[in-house]
Amino acid sequence: MIDLKPLHSFGLSAMADSISEIRDESLLSRLPVFDTPFIILGEGTNMVFVEDFSGSILNILTKGVEIKEQENQFLISVKAGENWHCLVESLLDKGIYGLENMALIPGSVGAAPVQNIGAYGIEFKDMCHSVTTFDIKRKTWQTYTREECCFGYRDSIFKSHEKQFEVITEVALLLPKTWNPNLNYRGLDTLPLGCAAKDVFNRVVEIRQQKLPDPKKIGNAGSFFKNPIISFEKFKSLQEIFPDMPFFNAENEDGKIQNAIKIKVPAAWLIEQCGFKGKHFDGIGCHQNQPLVLVNKGSGSGVSLLTFAREIRSAVLQRFGIQLENEVRLIGRNGVISL
């Protein structure tokens, strides 16, 4: 049996039947066809094992970065087991810019396309050239173009049930040589226009360290819920009752609200309004600085996490008529479960 506690950042106690560490891609084609539940694990920062997992885990640990210089851009191919933040930092040190707004997002490069990671106005899809996978059931390789990945807000084709046997082995990123800083996001807008990419990187790291709990110190999986996206009509009716409700244009966070069809509302605000900020229940807490982050105070269990998260979700539904969706992947005995 394998102890999963150190393998996921929320740090709940759970066990698994077996784990295979993949340090060499060629091993993938030699894996047996799994007849038990099966999941792919990166660094476990977006997954919570809420009970023992009775199946097999593939932990992707392949390493390697290849940089090809083209006329106006760099094409960077990265193996799935590289750490995302280390990649951002090492490219910056080489004078290759464009990822700095996504500094300090925990986890592996291979998981980045799965939920189309994003922060401070930039998403993985903005730099994605292609994603290569190996289907361990069919034993086939496939390379997806950016369009074929069907990226959305914290979403991609790789989250679908049909892709559950596809291991992302490599991603390719395109980073233009001409760097245009994206300083529109709150916190970065005070940087001078002529600032360097390193300044943006440092600022992002500074803000994130202030706002988000460090999973090495207190178990968490980042934002537990997605920011809900609602229709413009629903937003207008809510705004009459809650005039202070913050909002963004869901299609373009810098865009004008008048042209928006869909509106994104910060889940953190909704949760705070329902009185959960700083509250805790049976070893699980709602973080004091960022109520969107649920934390494991050390003694939390899968049952207490699910109970608390459901309580938050139903309070938000009751007060605002908005159904929160979990961003983290909850893993039960047989695989992904819904909240």
Contact residues toward ligand FAD (CB under 6 A) are: 9, 39-47, 60, 80, 105-108, 110-112, 114-115, 117-119, 158, 167-168, 212, 215, 220-222, 329
Q: Which is nearer to ligand FAD, 87 or 238 (CB)?
A: 87
Which tokens hold the place of 121? 């106005």
Residue 104 Cβ vs ligand FAD, minimum distance, rounded to whole Å? 8
Residue 95 Cβ vs ligand FAD, minimum distance, rounded to whole Å? 25
Q: Cα separation of 28 and 132, whole Å? A: 13
Q: Which is nearer to ligand FAD, 43 or 126 (CB)?
A: 43
Residue 119 Cβ vs ligand FAD, minimum distance, rounded to whole Å? 4
> Is there a catalytic annotation at residue 223?
yes
Q: Which is nearer to ligand FAD, 45 or 249 (CB)?
A: 45
Question: Residue 119, Cβ neighbours under 10 Å: how many?
Answer: 16
Instruction: Give, in order, the Cα–Cα distances in Å from 156 to each of 163, 236, 331.
Output: 10, 29, 19
> Is there a catalytic annotation at residue 240?
no
Across-strand partners of 255? none
Q: Cα separation of 161 and 145, whole Å? A: 19
Q: Which of 223, 304, 313, 329 is catalytic?
A: 223
Q: Cα separation of 172 and 309, whole Å? A: 36
Contact between residue 303 and residue 333 where contact means Cβ atoms under 8 Å apart: no
Residue 126 Cβ vs ligand FAD, minimum distance, rounded to whole Å? 13
205 φ, ψ to 5°? Answer: -60, -45
Which residue bears the tokens 């290849």?
Answer: 66
Question: Residue 71, Cβ neighbours under 10 Å: how many?
Answer: 5
Q: Cα separation of 73 and 172, whole Å? A: 12
Q: Which is nearer to ligand FAD, 78 or 238 (CB)?
A: 78
Q: Which of 154, 203, 313, 329 is catalytic?
A: 154
Q: Which is nearer to ligand FAD, 159 or 279 (CB)?
A: 159
Residue 221 Cβ vs ligand FAD, minimum distance, rounded to whole Å? 5
> Is there a catalytic annotation at residue 154?
yes
By DSSP bridging, strand 15-22 and strand 53-60 are: parallel
Q: Which of 51, 82, 166, 327 is catalytic?
A: 327
Catalytic site positions:
154, 223, 327
